Chain A
Amino acid sequence: MSWTIFDTWIAVTGMLCAISCAIPGSFLVLRKMSMMGDAISHAVLPGLAIAFFATGARDSFPMFIGAAVVGILTALFTQWISRFGQVDRGAAMGIVFTTLFAIGLILIVRAADHVDLDPGCVLYGAIELTPLDMVSFGPFELPRAAAVNGATLLVNLAIVILLFKELRLSSFDPALADTLGFSSGFIHYLLMTMVAVTTVAAFESVGSIIVIAMLIVPAATALLITRRLIPMLFIAAAVGAASSWIGHFMAIRIPPLFGVSDTTSSGMMAFAAGLLFTLAWIFAPHEGLVAQFLRARGKENRIPESTTQSPLR
């Protein structure tokens, strides 16, 4: 199968989606809240379903509102349940997002009878179909999904540029943020809203499950490579973008080698992200396995000198 303009659009859509996920994803990873991304990406489902019911169409704007509302509710409910129910955060999250996800699934299966909506698409996305749904901006024509993900990326970029100092402060030391007058609660819910909105923008292309890979894996990979926040954001974006191109390329090239037709691109994109993570894990300059091995061997060579001076001898 040869690479066509369709393939370029698919990879571009995946890339825009991955980069816009990498921004809130990096802060989730730094706050040790990766599972919150998982929870929110699942929990927005009922918000989407209700938006479908209300408008009867796959219109993006009501979906964003619905998702943002449910995303914030997820974060709120989790907080409440862990505080008043006296269960730990992880358990509270598990209760909230599975319940909301279930409600969403029930609603979507019901909605599927009335509106053009396939539960499979919601879960796994349909990035292969994105070039079939084009919109035009003046002389330019691009897939609607690319436009939606691109717009989300711009919003996320604007937020991280304007509030970089505040996001970093409240991620590193929320108590200090509060005493300095920067409400860590506000920034927490802002980040949760970003995650919810980004997830919705992404879900049409990559689905609500694969999107977790885009939120977390590039950020975790970047954290293996650098110990500075700004480079981390850039590397996470680059890893996300690369896994999108590599993923789609592998999806159309590898299965034919085994005599079968091409496979799902979004799945391959997540797989490619995992592959890049593995590479970083092995070859990262300081934290990588190779670097650690070399360091350990360096130490071994030095042992004879130090043991001669050991009081145990």
Chain B
Amino acid sequence: MPLISAHAKPVASAHLPEHPKDSPLSIHDLTVAYHRKPVIWDIDLNIPEGSLVGIVGPNGAGKSTLLKACLELIPKTSGLINVYGQPYQKQRHLVGYVPQRESVDWDFPISALDVVAMGTYRRLGWFKKVGKKERAKARKAMEQVGIGEYADRQISQLSGGQQQRVFLARALVQDAQLYFMDEPFAAVDAATEQAIVELLKDLRSQGKTCIVVHHDLATVSKYFDWLILLNMRVVAAGPTKEVFTRENLHKTYGGKLDLLDSASLALAQS
């Protein structure tokens, strides 16, 4: 008898882990205001680990603001943000960031490889130079996203899609657990879009979590397991299948019918 009970215990607890893992990102009561005008309000979120999370919402909904607040690039008015159960300041090394492509000057005199190698800087720390090891790592990441041959090009000589892949390769080199990506699919060619999707799935299979600002409602249910519908407040958040509904989209986008038409098309397809 004691044998059976000793054996039964771990089987029962297999469904409920004894040490519940901290969420990669948990946000409690976050409000961000700019010139006293709130941009995002009362955000409460718990992102499950190992998921591809989409953030959608109309222009000015505060999607980028939410990312930047999580990364402490802009001050928050109130609220609490934890990364794997700890404040961001302590967990920086676990977080990677892919900013919007337009956020930098692509005429800057720098090669694609040098941009990708920036992902190694945190580990290098102050003063230390990029060496052979870092360069090899950057080259490998560029090959992984299919732009290996453009390593020595000056970045203005790359197409929009290639530039976006440079940013993704840089994020790969950072070797983070949680990625924030701001509109990586914006204005890229079909091949790049496919490369990004493959990359996201690859990251997910390694147990990493990606939070992606997205603008194309037609591809939402294809790309993301989890969805945040944002319009200053969180309208709905949860598994895409549950929250990507006509009703929720109506609440998020209001009366913008042309957008909703493409969305309903996408819903019909899924």
- The answer to whether A and B interact is yes
A residues with a Cβ closer than 8 A to B are 30, 32, 86, 162-166, 168-169, 171-173, 175-176, 178-182, 223, 226-229, 232
> What distance in Å separates the Cβ of A220 from its nearest Cβ neighbour in chain B?
12
Is B115 part of the contact surface with A, judged by Cβ < 8 Å?
Answer: yes
B106: nearest chain-A partner, CB-CB: A172
Please name 26 pairs of A and B residues whose Cβ atoms are closer than 8 Å in the assembled complex, sorted by A.
A164-B129, A165-B121, A165-B124, A169-B121, A171-B108, A172-B105, A173-B104, A173-B118, A175-B68, A175-B71, A175-B97, A175-B99, A175-B103, A176-B97, A176-B170, A178-B71, A178-B73, A179-B71, A179-B73, A180-B92, A180-B122, A181-B122, A226-B109, A227-B107, A227-B154, A228-B110
B residues with a Cβ closer than 8 A to A are 35, 68, 71-73, 92, 95, 97, 99, 103-105, 107-111, 114-115, 118, 121-122, 124, 126-130, 154, 156, 170, 174
CB pair A32–B110 under 8 Å, yes or no, is no
Contact partners of A227 in chain B: CB under 8 A = 107, 109, 154, 156
Contact partners of A181 in chain B: CB under 8 A = 92, 122
Q: Known: A173-B103, A180-B121, A223-B109. Is A228-B154 also a contact (CB below 8 A)?
A: yes
For B107, B114, B118, B130, which residue has the most chain A Cβ atoms within 10 angstroms? Answer: B118
Contact partners of A180 in chain B: CB under 8 A = 92, 118, 121-122, 174
Among A30, A169, A179, A223, point to the contact of B97 (Cβ < 8 A).
A179
CB pair B126–A182 under 8 Å, yes or no, is yes
> What distance in Å separates the Cβ of B154 from its nearest Cβ neighbour in chain A?
4
> What distance in Å separates the Cβ of B99 from its nearest Cβ neighbour in chain A?
5
CB pair B95–A179 under 8 Å, yes or no, is yes
Contact partners of A168 in chain B: CB under 8 A = 110, 114
Q: Which 5 A-B pairs rank lowest in CB-CB distance, beginning with the nearest?
A: A227-B154, A180-B122, A179-B97, A229-B109, A227-B109
Q: Known: A223-B109, A227-B154. Is A173-B99 also a contact (CB below 8 A)?
A: yes
Contact partners of B130 in chain A: CB under 8 A = 165
Per the bound structure, the CA–CA distance linking A172 and B72 in Å amounts to: 19
> What distance in Å separates the Cβ of B31 from its nearest Cβ neighbour in chain A?
19
Per the bound structure, the CA–CA distance linking A66 and B168 in Å amounts to: 45
Other than the given A173-B99, A179-B71, A179-B92, 4 more pairs (CB < 8 A) read A165-B124, A176-B170, A178-B72, A226-B109
Contact partners of B97 in chain A: CB under 8 A = 175-176, 179
> What distance in Å separates the Cβ of B127 from its nearest Cβ neighbour in chain A?
6
B89: nearest chain-A partner, CB-CB: A181
Per the bound structure, the CA–CA distance linking A168 and B174 in Å amounts to: 18
> What distance in Å separates the Cβ of B150 from its nearest Cβ neighbour in chain A?
14
> What distance in Å separates the Cβ of B89 from its nearest Cβ neighbour in chain A?
10
Contact partners of A182 in chain B: CB under 8 A = 121, 126
For B105, B108, B109, B129, which residue has the most chain A Cβ atoms within 10 angstroms? Answer: B109
Contact partners of A30 in chain B: CB under 8 A = 105, 108-109
CB pair A166–B126 under 8 Å, yes or no, is yes
Per the bound structure, the CA–CA distance linking A261 and B92 in Å amounts to: 65
Per the bound structure, the CA–CA distance linking A165 and B174 in Å amounts to: 16
CB pair B71–A32 under 8 Å, yes or no, is no
B114: nearest chain-A partner, CB-CB: A168
Contact partners of A163 in chain B: CB under 8 A = 126-127
Contact partners of B129 in chain A: CB under 8 A = 164-165
> What distance in Å separates the Cβ of A235 from its nearest Cβ neighbour in chain B?
11
> What distance in Å separates the Cβ of B65 from its nearest Cβ neighbour in chain A?
13
Per the bound structure, the CA–CA distance linking A55 and B152 in Å amounts to: 54
Contact partners of A32 in chain B: CB under 8 A = 105
Per the bound structure, the CA–CA distance linking A175 and B103 in Å amounts to: 9
Contact partners of A172 in chain B: CB under 8 A = 104-105, 108, 110, 115, 118
Per the bound structure, the CA–CA distance linking A30 and B174 in Å amounts to: 25
For A86, A165, A179, A232, which residue has the most chain B Cβ atoms within 10 angstroms? Answer: A179
For A166, A168, A226, which residue has the most chain B Cβ atoms within 10 angstroms? Answer: A168
Q: Known: A169-B118, A180-B121, A182-B126. Is A175-B92 also a contact (CB below 8 A)?
A: no
Contact partners of B108 in chain A: CB under 8 A = 30, 171-172
Per the bound structure, the CA–CA distance linking A164 and B105 in Å amounts to: 18
CB pair B99–A176 under 8 Å, yes or no, is yes
Contact partners of A228 in chain B: CB under 8 A = 109-111, 154
B107: nearest chain-A partner, CB-CB: A227
B174: nearest chain-A partner, CB-CB: A180
> What distance in Å separates the Cβ of A291 from its nearest Cβ neighbour in chain B?
15
Contact partners of B71 in chain A: CB under 8 A = 175, 178-179
Per the bound structure, the CA–CA distance linking A171 and B108 in Å amounts to: 9
Among B68, B118, B156, point to the contact of A176 (Cβ < 8 A).
B118
A233: nearest chain-B partner, CB-CB: B109
For A166, A175, A178, which residue has the most chain B Cβ atoms within 10 angstroms? Answer: A175
For B110, B111, B115, which residue has the most chain A Cβ atoms within 10 angstroms? Answer: B110
Contact partners of B121 in chain A: CB under 8 A = 165, 169, 180, 182
Among A86, A162, A164, A175, point to the contact of B73 (Cβ < 8 A).
A175
Per the bound structure, the CA–CA distance linking A179 and B92 in Å amounts to: 7
> What distance in Å separates the Cβ of B152 from its nearest Cβ neighbour in chain A?
10
A227: nearest chain-B partner, CB-CB: B154
Among B68, B109, B114, point to the contact of A232 (Cβ < 8 A).
B109
